[in-house]
Structure 1
Amino acid sequence: MLLEGKNAIIYGAGTVGTAVASSFVKEGARVFLAGRTMATLEDARERVGGQVEVAQVDATDEQQVNAHADAVATKAGSIDISMNVISDTDVQGTPMIEMTLDDYIRPVITAVSSKFLTSCAAARHMIKQKSGVILALGGSVERNPSMHDYNFGGIQVTFDAVESMRRQLSVELGRYGIRVVSLRTSGLVESIPADYANRDMILSSIIDQTLTGLPATPQDVGNVAAFAASDWARTITGTEINMTCGTAID
């Protein structure tokens, strides 16, 4: 198994977090699943099974994040993997000039704050053990010209900010044997709520711009995350793994 003996913290118990937790457990990891809503966490634990422990943690609260990471490190003996997949609470499908500042900037603040806090909390323990992997969903879509006409709101700025953080972290932490990797998708159909505004437009954008017509699923993210967190990917850091099904061709 790819992750046997590894201890992983996953922030976010929604569709993606549950899929990642499932893949990690199948590959032998002990998973500590953290999120804001206990009912969601309990549901995720039941669906995943295996070595999963849950804790109510607000990933944007510094004290809660640090206390939880310290508790995991003490209980498990190490933090080998940290992955943040909480919702960015973004609004898409509305032209930028018609958006409120709050709607535009909220995903940037949420993503940067939570990924800063969770990454730093894990890294402080990883530095001591001279190893570890920090993963996040991210990746810019700006290299695909067809995406420029779409009304992304603040999510594009969010992705760019997360990628900038990934580059900085990978350089600063590499000397300690810590890898930092982003998983880049073209969007996840399953993660868009049925009642989300402009849902049909977003779905069409995600699906139509892939080369295969089959965008990544949450389970795909989980499987690739398990690989990226394993020693099989030990040479991969400071970069993104392209899971866009051809939406972004480098």
Structure 2
Amino acid sequence: MLLAGKNAIVYGAAGQVGTALSTAFARAGARVHLAGRTARTLEDLAERLRGDGGQAEPSVVDALDETAVDAHTDAVAATWGSVDICVSVIDIADAQGTPLAEMSLEDFERPVRIATRSTFLTARAAARHMVRRRSGVILTFGGDGGGEPMRDYSIGGLQVALNAVDFLRRQLAAELGSYGIRVLGLHTGGVVEGLPDDFGARQEVTDMIVGKTMLGRAATFADVGNVAVFAASDLAASMTATSLNITCGAVAD
């Protein structure tokens, strides 16, 4: 198993992306520390992963709470001996469909604040333990890696938030590389199977995402999990400060 013996912390573990990552990590042999704000959903996920033969430890943690994140990470390291993989995929509560010129400041700022704060706090907490062991992998998620604006649909502060996280990823990689810590991004350009059925612009957004791809389909949650396992494993030991393109050809590197 590619991640046997590794401890992986997933913040936002019970969400759609978090579930995909947690499931893939557990299947690859990692002990997955499921962090989120709702105990019941975390327990349900932990039970499912254990039922499939995986190792899972649920904990109620708010990824925006500095004290809570630090305490949880310290507890994982103290109890299980290491923090080897860390990723935050909490919901950043973005407002979409309203043109920027008509959007409130609060709606614009919210995703930027949530994305940068959660990524910084969780990465910092993990890095402090990874530095001592001179190894570890920090992953970020979201966007298409290209930084191109949306021309036909307004996504508010989301693109700004994702590009801010992307630069944070590169800066973390630059500062932590000498300690053997790798920092990688996972870019999908959008996972359409995650769009809610009651989302008014669902078909419009699906057509926009799929229409940009070369493969004629968008990435799936299973794709995200599989690539994350590779990125976190020793097979990707030479990779850092870069993003893994899971856009099905929507972005040509």
Fold equivalence (TM over 0.5): yes
Superposition map of 1:145-224 within 5 A: 147-224=150-227
TM-superposed deviation, 1:168 = 0.6
Query: Is 1:47 the equivalent of 2:48?
Result: yes
Work out the CA distance in 2 between the residues paired with 1:185 and 1:159.
12
- Residues 136-170 of structure 1 show CA distances to partners (whole Å, capped at 9, x for unaligned) of 1034555557x433312111101110011001100
Q: How large is the RMSD of aligned CA atoms in angstroms? A: 1.5
Out of 124, 136, 142, the position equivalent to 1:138 is: 142
Q: CA contact under 8 A between 1:139 and 1:240: conserved in structure 2?
A: no
Q: Distance in 2 between matches of 1:161 and 1:69?
A: 24
CA distance in 2, matches of 1:83, 1:219: 16
User: What is the rounded CA distance, in whole Å, between the counterparts of 2:168 and 2:94 in structure 1?
Assistant: 19
Native 8 Å contact 1:92 1:198 kept in 2 = no
CA contact (8 A) 1:30 1:51 kept: yes
Instruction: Report which stretch shifted further, 196-205 or 110-119.
Output: 196-205
In the superposition, relative to structure 1, how do residues 148 and 142 fare at CA in structure 2: closer, same or farther (>3 Å)?
farther
**Residue 241 of structure 2 corresponds to residue 231 of structure 1:** no
**Do the aligned partners of residues 117 and 24 (structure 1) sit closer, same or farther apart at CA in structure 2, a change above 3 Å counting?**
same
Name 1:26's counterpart in structure 2: 27
Residue 76 of structure 1 aligns with an amino acid whose one-letter code is W
User: Which of 123, 129, 150 lines up with 2:127 in the alignment?
Assistant: 123
Q: Establish whether residue 91 from structure 1 lines up as the match of residue 92 from structure 2.
A: no
The answer (yes or no) to whether the contact 1:78–1:125 under 8 Å persists in 2 is yes
Cα distance in 2 for partners of 1:65, 1:93 equals 32
Q: What's the % identity of the aligned pairs?
A: 55
Against the structure 1 CA distance between its residues 132 and 142, is the aligned structure 2 distance closer, same or farther, given a 3 Å change threshold?
Answer: closer
Measured in 2, the distance between the counterparts of 1:201 and 1:144 equals 18
* TM-score normalised by length of structure 1: 0.95
Q: Check whether the contact 1:95–1:151 (CA below 8 A) recurs between aligned residues.
A: yes
Native 8 Å contact 2:142 2:189 kept in 1 = no
Deviation at 1:192, TM superposition (A): 2.2
* Matched residue SS, 1:34: strand
Q: Does 1:7 align with 2:7?
A: yes
Question: For 2:26, what is the secondary structure of its paired residue?
Answer: helix
**Residues of 2 paired with 1:55 and 1:190: CA distance?**
27
Displacement, 1:197? 4.4
- Once residues 67 and 143 of structure 1 are traced to their aligned partners in structure 2, the CA distance between those partners, rounded to angstroms, is 34
Q: Which moved more, 1:196-205 or 1:219-228?
A: 196-205
Gaps of 5+ in 1: none
Deviation sequence 1:101-151 (CA, Å, 0-9, x none): 111111100000000000000000000000000001034555557x43331
1:29 Cα deviation after fit: 0.6
- Which SS does the other structure have where 2:137 is aligned? strand
The 8 Å contact of residues 4 and 29 in structure 2, kept in 1 or not, is answered as yes
CA contact (8 A) 1:142 1:148 kept: no
Further displaced range: 180-189 or 88-97: 88-97
For 1:38, the equivalent position in structure 2 comes to 39
The alpha-carbon deviation at position 240 of structure 1 amounts to 0.4
Which residue does 1:59 correspond to in 2?
Answer: 63
- Distance in 1 of aligned mates of 2:248 and 2:91: 22
Kindly state the Cα deviation for residue 198 of structure 1 after the two structures are TM-superposed: 2.6
Query: What TM-score do the two structures reach when normalised by structure 2?
Result: 0.94
